[in-house]
Structure 1
């Protein structure tokens, strides 16, 4: 039954908040090789495909109870073996994103507050995961606040950068480089992760009580994310020369390295502070959004009850492993996001398309929500996912051009 009181803005903000942390902080370093035009083209194509694949999940979920997630639906429609692979990739991606956010928050808070990075990471998890433990409504409320806060700091910080955009830097006319397109291939896994909200689709469907409103919330969220990415890359690439990304890439694209590189070209301390504030808000909003998706997925997987005791068990399996890994093995942000993107092709592209295909076979002729495009759209989504995974593997093997600054 549709829940009339749930706003589209709140749902769109949850979806956008899940996306923007990884995208904002990972895309500039990942797109340094492809630079402005090719980076934006890769991001736009990825946004369209990932929005459609999210709708495919809604189509597959429509015949099930509102509380179900990947585990139940994939097992029922595609079988235990495929479901096992899907579950591994869902948790791997969610876990590695949480791990990346926890590590990055520690590094930023270390510089801002003077705390030890590991202590800062622990405090970050304990305080902000409480919203996820409480309820989806609590995440809705804090997501709206964080998105508003991000927009204010983003507008202030980016406006300071945007007014000083150098077109020669933005379009890299100084270096006389022509081979940008090959670098876009290696960027796709990070671009895909930048729209990796799919573990929150079941949460959106349960929140609204039906598919159509959830569809528009997903579209609204991905459009917000895409708009922010375009503004962000325009401002970063228009101020920080392509050759200056060398030190950032050498440190694995870590957020603190990117912020320090930006600090060297930003003349205003207020603008630099706004950019730092925005980056922290982006990490926090994505941490909470991704945490909610993983939380609901694991609650469904382990069949934990929706009680204080059950939610505490879910909290432990959701947040404790990535926190421990962050404390023991911190490494490059973009490297982590790249691995997440390669694995995410399974549950963000391939599985949703297969679920939609199987749903149409099992429930042929049924009315209700259906993604347009027929079999061709299913094939395109699967192809995009496979190619993205292949590009990441080729990049790891050194078989794709690697930009080092």
Structure 2
């Protein structure tokens, strides 16, 4: 169970956390935390809904197989298209954020003004190459890097907490248009709780033990909530919502501001390394999934030509996005919420309704039809928020 809880928490915590202060700064501390709690509630409920679907369908099936059984070929097409869109959007966001941090590092460490587009290409070629090496290499690297990232997060939070200003925390909403601020924040916060892809694997791992799995999902999803709240405390509470809002989504500006507050050189380096690892671990996990999905979709051969073809399909679309939207880290993370809503809210609701009509036997998450309706309504709100921002 401990390992499973770590998988759930580790799947959620990553580069999305870096975007949270940038996305919520205009709301003020208390509204930002309330939004986190509400989105956590949606994510926890939908994870239990997906658990219900997995247990009733049969332990051992993956998401694609379950969708096919309950919603047929059309459901599988929608699920596959949503999954592909989500991974492409996340990859583009991480390329944008990673390259901006690379530009910052070149300037601070070597006093070199690195061109942003060159940084995007370098980041893609160097780290993107890991995807083609296969799951064994990425798994080993990710475990080490993620463990180090969590240690650094604890260190950074502990050392920055004494610097938190009550006046900064008490600052109310600072934006002229609160509607725009809420609409911009909701999709980014929702994307930060996307751990649902691992549920089918955990059902197999714990042999369909409903009681244990329920605890795993609730505890595992609460850990990211706690981490995110502390992260907002030490960012909005030190730099201040007004200043962060003025960064206009710039991740390097946020990291530089935190480093200035740290005062101690080695803490400053810890902040920088934490940001790097948060991006890299997320990037490796997402691009490996995308690479494998593309390889399966195109039925590419496992030779040099096949791997090059798969790599190009995997990285060229998000690379182009990162090249032409250089400040799009927060914006593209927000777009990722649209396919994520389809995958973890709309499709699970449709599958649960199909199963419940057929039988009342087996594990069922509490709330009945009312909870399903509320989840569906909130999913529609998240998509509407992203469409509002895009338009």
Q: TM-score, normalised by structure 1?
A: 0.81
| Deviation at residue 240 of structure 1 after TM alignment | 1.1
Measured in 2, the distance between the counterparts of 1:46 and 1:229 equals 12
Could you tell me whether the CA contact under 8 Å between 2:180 and 2:389 is conserved in 1?
no
Partner of 2:13, secondary structure, is helix
Q: Does 1:148 align with 2:147?
A: yes
Q: Does 1:84 align with 2:77?
A: yes
Instruction: Tell me the matched-pair count.
Output: 378
Residue pair 1:61, 1:73 contacting (<8 A) in 2 also = yes
The answer on whether the counterparts of 1:248 and 1:261 sit within 8 Å (CA) in structure 2 is no
User: 361, 366, 370: which is aligned to 2:364?
Assistant: 370
Contact 1:38 1:180 in 2 (8 A): no
* Shift, 1:208, TM fit: 3.8
Among 277, 297, 303, the residue aligned to 2:273: 277
Which position in structure 1 is the counterpart of 2:124?
Answer: 121
The offset of 1:237, in angstroms, is: 0.7
Where does 1:98-177 land on structure 2 (aligned, <5 Å)? 98-112=91-105, 116-117=118-119, 118-127=121-130, 129=131, 133-134=135-136, 139=139, 142-172=141-171
On the 8 A contact 1:77/1:358 being kept in 2, the answer is: yes
Matches within 5 A, 1:2-401: 8-62=1-55, 63-64=57-58, 66-69=60-63, 71-112=64-105, 116-117=118-119, 118-127=121-130, 129=131, 133-134=135-136, 139=139, 142-172=141-171, 183-210=181-208, 212=210, 213-249=212-248, 253-291=249-287, 293-294=289-290, 316=311, 319-321=314-316, 324-325=319-320, 328-331=323-326, 332-362=328-358, 364-367=359-362, 369-397=363-391
Q: Does the aligned pair in 2 maintain the 1:102–1:124 contact within 8 Å?
A: no
Which piece of structure 1 moves more, 84-93 or 207-216?
207-216
Deviations 1:85-139 (A, max 9, x none): 3322221112211221233223323433667512133211223x3676228xx73
- Runs of 5+ in structure 1 lacking a partner? 1-7, 398-405
Offset at residue 241 of structure 1 (A): 2.1
Query: Any stretches of 5+ residues in structure 2 without a counterpart?
Result: none
Q: Is the 8 A contact 1:110 1:120 kept in 2?
A: no
Q: 1:18 to 1:389 in 2, by over 3 A?
A: same
Displacement of 1:320 in angstroms is 3.1
Q: How far does residue 186 in structure 1 lie from its aligned partner after superposition?
A: 3.3
Structure showing the higher helix proportion among its residues: 2
CA 1:60 to 1:10, structure 2 compared with 1: closer, same or farther past 3 Å? same
Contact 1:125 1:323 in 2 (8 A): no
In the aligned structure 2, how far is the partner of 1:50 from the partner of 1:314?
A: 36
The answer (yes or no) to whether the contact 1:74–1:82 under 8 Å persists in 2 is yes
CA RMSD of aligned residues (A): 3.4
Question: Equivalent residue of 2:25, what SS?
Answer: coil
Give distance in 1, aligned partners of 2:322 and 2:36: 32
Question: Deviations 1:195-235 (Å, cap 9, x if unpaired)?
Answer: 11223323333444436344443333311211110100000
Q: Which digits, 9 at most, give the CA deviation of each residue in 1:124-169, with x for residues without a partner?
A: 1223x3676228xx73x65553343122211222222211111001
